[in-house]
């Protein structure tokens, strides 16, 4: 078996030299363990944070050791009562083709009638981030105008659809005409192309004539500033991610920050794991919207473990539409 490991800590955008494929020694299972052939591996923007040696909500990747991340596979061998060969499971020992884990670190896939890889995207961590971030953190409700950045990505494209299902007016932003058209096809009422050359603050002003009530931030930087500039009285900002700054040490300039005061804007960061104990709500609602055909799912699939760093780096150049995945 093989796994990707981090060879050194990148500054700025990582490159191939920061990753190495290492061999994992084959070993027999201990009592209670399972062997899993991984089929789908997740790459996610938060993994960039784990490459830095800093204190955070998840510990840094250890140099020279297998990296970790969401994964879906099939049990091939089991010394656990809970799992048998052939079971489809999810776990966190990603970035590798085979995982050996104690049963406590392995979960069966939820029973919803979807492809298994959906549980790494819309029906997994990114989907939960969209759902709880929009409905709990930002308290989006019918009639609100919701602005969401990185709207063609895994989290953003799910935010767009949940917001539409809840009766909101939705404005997205994405890079390039093709992605913008796709976001519109998901139901967004307007989409701005932040790569078109028009400053985000101006482009947003043109489509958000009545301002915005909710901002779901995936990007930070100019997008956050533009959202502040157009926020209505008592707007709610859910700060989910700031991908614009993950590879950068430049300070963010927020010219409209003082709008927080007069407009009584509430701004709140969150981590999806804050809501783990409410997963049942998420599956119930998402399951319902799936049945009603209100959810469209899209994945960008990179083939082969060998190309995993490429898939990861693609997140920072917009290489994905919908969820970025690696098929082993
Ligand atoms: P995406 O599928 O959205 O992929 C990242 C996308 O970000 C790219 O496709 C690209 O789209 C866009 N992007 C990259 N760089 C920039 C930039 N400099 N400016 C604007 N857009 C950029 O990833 P996820 O859906 O997995 O994650 C989205 C955000 O949510 C991230 O910030 C992530 O860290 C955060 N997150 C937070 C969680 C939490 O618990 N708080 C959990 C999960 C995710 P384009 O082509 O449009 O530029």
Ligand 1: residue of 241, 242, 267, 273 to mutate (most ligand atoms within 8 A of CB) is: 241
pLDDT in tens, 247-296: 998 888 999 999 999 999 999 999 999 999 999 999 999 989 988 889 99
Contacts with 20 (C-beta within 8 Å, 6 or more apart), sequence order: 4, 5, 7
pLDDT in tens, 181-191: 999 999 999 99
Contacts with 255 (C-beta within 8 Å, 6 or more apart), sequence order: 225, 229
- The per-residue pLDDT for 33 is 98
pLDDT(56) > 90: no
pLDDT in tens, 221-249: 999 999 999 999 999 999 999 999 999 98
* Segments making up each domain of the chain, as ranges: 2-121+298-327, 125-273
- The per-residue pLDDT for 231 is 98
Which residue owns the Cα nearest ligand 1 atom 18?
A: 244
pLDDT(27) > 90: yes
User: pTM score > 0.80 for this model?
Assistant: yes
- The per-residue pLDDT for 322 is 98
**Cα 231 to ligand 1 centroid, rounded to whole Å:** 22
State how beta strands 266-269 and 231-239 pair.
Answer: parallel
- The per-residue pLDDT for 138 is 98
Nearest to 162 by CA among 262, 74, 294: 294
Q: Any idea which of 36-40, 115-119, 190-194, 287-291 has the lowest mean pLDDT?
A: 287-291
- The per-residue pLDDT for 74 is 98
Task: Indicate which atom in ligand 1 lies nearest the CA of residue 221.
Answer: 19
Asked whether 14 and 248 are in contact (CB, 8 A), the reply is no
CATH assignment, 2-121+298-327: 3.90.180.10
Ligand 1: residue of 155, 224, 249 to mutate (most ligand atoms within 8 A of CB) is: 155
Which stretches does DSSP call E strand in 50-189? 71-78, 88-91, 98-102, 106-108, 145-148, 169-174
Alpha helices (runs of H) in the chain, residue ranges in sequence order: 46-50, 125-132, 154-165, 177-185, 200-207, 221-229, 259-262, 279-291, 308-314
**Cα 305 to ligand 1 centroid, rounded to whole Å:** 22
Task: With cut-offs at 50, 70 and 90, classify the pLDDT of residue 55.
Answer: confident
Q: Of all residues in the chain, what percent carry a pLDDT higher than 90?
A: 93
Give this complex's ipTM: 0.99
CATH class of 125-273: alpha beta
């Amino acid at each position: 078996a093989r796994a990707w490991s981090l060879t050194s800590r990148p500054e700025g955008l990582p490159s191939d030299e920061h990753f190495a494929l290492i061999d994992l020694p084959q070993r027999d299972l201990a009592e209670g363990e399972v062997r899993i052939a991984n089929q789908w591996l997740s790459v996610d923007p938060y993994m960039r944070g784990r490459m830095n040696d800093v204190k955070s909500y998840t510990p840094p990747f250890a140099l020279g050791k297998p990296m970790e991340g969401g994964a879906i596979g099939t049990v091939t061998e089991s010394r656990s009562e809970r799992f048998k060969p052939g079971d489809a499971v999810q776990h966190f020992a990603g970035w590798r083709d085979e995982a050996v884990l104690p049963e406590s670190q392995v979960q069966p896939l939820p029973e919803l009638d979807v492809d298994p890889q959906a549980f790494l995207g819309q029906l997994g961590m990114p989907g939960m981030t969209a759902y709880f971030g929009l409905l709990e953190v930002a308290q989006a409700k019918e009639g609100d105008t919701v602005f969401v950045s990185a709207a063609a990505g895994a989290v953003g494209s799910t935010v767009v659809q949940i917001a539409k299902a809840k009766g909101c007016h939705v404005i997205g932003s994405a890079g390039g005409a093709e992605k913008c058209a796709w976001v519109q096809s998901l139901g967004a009422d307007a989409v701005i192309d932040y790569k078109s050359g028009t400053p985000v603050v101006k482009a947003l002003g043109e489509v958000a004539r009545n301002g915005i009530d909710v901002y779901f931030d995936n990007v930070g930087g100019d997008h956050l500033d533009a959202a502040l500039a157009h926020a209505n009285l008592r707007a709610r900002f859910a700060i989910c991610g700031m991908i614009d700054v993950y590879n950068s040490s430049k300070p963010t300039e927020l010219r409209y920050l003082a709008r927080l005061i007069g407009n009584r804007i509430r701004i709140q960061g969150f981590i999806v794991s804050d809501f783990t104990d409410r997963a049942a709500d998420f599956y119930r609602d998402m399951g319902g919207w799936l049945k009603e055909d209100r959810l469209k799912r899209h994945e960008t699939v990179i083939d082969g473990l060998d190309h995993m760093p490429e898939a990861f780096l693609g997140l920072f150049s917009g290489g994905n539409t919908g969820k970025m995945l690696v098929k082993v």
